[in-house]
Amino acid sequence: MPLPVETTNVLRHPEGPDTTLQVGEGTYILRDEIHLATPPPHPAEVTAPTSNPLVTIPIAPTAGVKLSLVTLNSHGAAPQLYHLNNNNNTTSPGRKTYSIRESDQEGRASTDFGSDVAGRLSTEGSNNSTPAFGEGNVALLAANGKEAVKRRKPKNNIVKSNSSFVSRVIPHDALTKRLNERNPSGLYAFANINRAFEWLDLSSDLKAEPLAKILFTKAHMLCHDVNTRTRDSAHIDVVLGSSAGDILWYEPMSQKYARINKNGVINSCGVSHVKWIPSSESLFLASHIDGTLVVYDKEKEDAPFFADEVMQEENNVFINEDNTVLNVIKSVNSKNQKTNPVACWSVSGHRINQFEFSPDCRHLAVVSEDGCLRVIDYLKERLIDIYPSYYGGFICVCWSPDGKYILTGGQDDLVSIWSLNERQIVARCQGHHSWVTAVAFDPWRCDEKNYRFGSVGDDCKLLLWDFSVGMLHRPKATHIARQRGSISAQSISLQRQRTGSVVTLPRLRSDSNRLFYGDPASDEVLYHPVEPRARTAQLPPVMSKTIDDHPLCWLGFEKDCIITSCQEGHIRTWDRPREGVNGSQITLSGIKAS
């Protein structure tokens, strides 16, 4: 007998000992839980192929419930932990510094900024010192001229759409009234669950009732993102990536949409992750499950394209025995910019699970099923570093607010910390007992020396971690000299065999006496071998707790709360410790504040 399928969202307020998280700074308390309704499968829905011989029923493609959060009130400045034009990372005159301390008693500088911290940091950074993506290409500027100003919103009404891709759209009966009465500083959330996509107002008393709900026919929405540059009180640009490869540009205020990569005209593979390019109003980057990264323009029409032979001759294709590649199929500097795609890069022969832009808007961190973290200078379309996992594939990735560190989580049950400047692993964080599915920094508890981040996984656990360089100690048995001046003596220079336009990076066996292959001061691609556990610092969590009965798949930090979601549609909001309620507060440095 089939299981009953819920049709409406349910709001709960659980109580009990399992609804608190005890951390050094105080107690986090579960505020509420929204259980999203799981829609029944559509008869035309395409099932995902599986290699598991034990599976007896069709499995629909899904990525669990993921959220995109945005506030429309843009007043207040975000903390700029990434300092522009400052190689020494010292505080600029007149610039505030931000502490990890939670309350005013701890001396924390107060500020008011919204949920889209990463996007706003990226936007501010790009406006000061970083060139825009594709800057200097006259063809790209001409294509985005007057037409881009005319088309701020998509053309098609999704409510009245007769498209076979959209099954049904259910706007709230009092949508206009709710929008007029909303909290100006309120928090919107966009969430996917199976073939449904919902728009929620998390600041409303009716938060469980979606402002709008879209049901799709032949695909599931696997990823989505909000453009923090174009959002205002009357406009939100949302981009959605589907399991069928189609991408939707959706404007919820007007209920208009446009379909990009329709029927896979550019790439027929599903979209695993999508992000708006920092500082751009129209460009976004999508990763397809075939290992390809594609830059699209929401304003342009789609057209089949062929590899740019001129750019392929000018750009190197880096390959090693594990098929680690960066092939510029179409460059952003191409003269053909009248139609999508704007750019196309083949990164891996395996599925790309996630990517994130750095706060300085120069680098791109990409993780994939082949177990590699790749750091790409996407402005120059160049691969910089390749870091392999300890075991299995990488699933998730994020940057520290100051851009110094990269977090990864994956199938090795570990959270790994990588240093961008030192080009090496800093620490492995052990505490999960299954795959790590999401990692995120808490910008409200980070400063220039100390960092707070969290992780969730298939073990249904939420873990919080405190990290500073000074607190890390390498195992005593592995104190090997690492003098900067003798780095070439400790490492083997990268041997290159050039055949035409292909540069081969030979796969060399990991050696505990070597830090990496290549010179870190050069522009060459470095393939870093796996660092042995005996030589890598271990970081324990400051809090570990099972918070759900189902595997967790998303984590986000807000100014007043932590938000988590699981594969079965449970969205939980955890209130931060309130001032004066939990007693004295403890900082990461161990100083207790009265």
Structural element, H or E, at residue 391: none
AA identity, residue 319: I
- pLDDT of amino acid 114: 41
- 489 phi and psi angles, rounded to 5 deg: -75, -25
Give the integer Cα–Cα distance in Å for 540 and 432: 10
In sequence order, the 6+-apart residues with CB closer than 8 A to the CB of 91 are 83, 97, 448
Find, among 128, 406, 155, the residue nearest to 278 by Cα: 128
Instruction: Yes or no: say if 415 and 432 are a contact pair by the CB < 8 Å rule.
Output: yes
- pLDDT of amino acid 45: 65
Q: Where are the domains of the chain?
A: 10-47+59-74+107-473+490-577
Dihedral of CA 118/124/127/130: which sign? Answer: negative
- 293 phi and psi angles, rounded to 5 deg: -105, 130
Find, among 468, 411, 364, 420, the residue nearest to 122 by Cα: 364
Distances (CA, A) of 474 to 109, 157, 431: 33, 59, 18
In sequence order, the 6+-apart residues with CB closer than 8 A to the CB of 43 are none
Cis peptide before 58 (omega within 30 of 0): no
The two three-digit tokens of residue 507, written as one number: 């796969």
Q: pLDDT in tens for each of the 594 residues of the chain?
A: 454 454 799 999 999 989 999 999 999 999 999 999 999 887 776 665 555 565 455 555 567 899 999 998 754 334 556 544 434 333 333 334 334 444 434 433 333 334 454 444 444 444 457 889 998 888 887 656 544 444 478 999 999 999 999 999 999 999 999 999 998 889 999 999 999 999 999 999 999 999 999 999 989 999 999 999 999 989 999 999 999 999 999 999 999 999 999 999 999 999 999 999 998 999 999 999 999 999 999 999 999 877 764 444 444 444 444 444 689 999 999 999 999 999 999 999 999 999 999 999 999 999 999 999 999 999 999 999 999 999 999 999 999 999 999 999 999 999 999 999 999 999 999 999 999 999 999 999 999 889 999 999 999 999 999 999 787 766 654 444 343 333 232 332 333 332 233 233 433 333 323 333 444 445 567 899 999 988 999 999 999 999 999 999 999 999 999 999 999 999 999 999 987 554 444 344 444 443
Find, among 432, 440, 480, 494, the residue nearest to 459 by Cα: 432
Instruction: Work out the burial of residue 421: count CB atoms within 10 Å of its CB; fewer than 13 is exposed, 13-18 middle, 19 or more buried.
Output: exposed
- pLDDT of amino acid 423: 94
Using the CB atoms, write b or e for 162-188: b if 16+ within 10 Å: eeebbbebebbeebeeeeeebeeeebb
Ramachandran region of residue 228, left (φ > 0), alpha (ψ -120 to 50) or beta? alpha
As beta bridge partners, residue 320 has: 505
Find, among 272, 270, 298, 271, the residue nearest to 284 by Cα: 298
Instruction: Yes or no: say if 562 and 484 are a contact pair by the CB < 8 Å rule.
Output: no
- pLDDT of amino acid 307: 72
Instruction: Provide the whole-model pTM.
Output: 0.82
Instruction: Yes or no: say if 281 and 227 are a contact pair by the CB < 8 Å rule.
Output: yes
Give the integer Cα–Cα distance in Å for 58 and 274: 26
- 116 phi and psi angles, rounded to 5 deg: -95, 55
- Reduced to 3 states (helix: H, G, I; strand: E, B; else coil), residue 296 is strand
Give me the residue label for tokens 């903390």. 79
Find, among 403, 476, 489, the residue nearest to 446 by Cα: 403
Over the Cα atoms of the chain, what is R_g?
24
Dihedral of CA 40/43/44/45: which sign? Answer: positive
- pLDDT of amino acid 209: 97
Give the integer Cα–Cα distance in Å for 372 and 358: 18
- 498 phi and psi angles, rounded to 5 deg: -100, 125
Is 10-47+59-74+107-473+490-577 in CATH node 3.20.20.370?
Answer: no
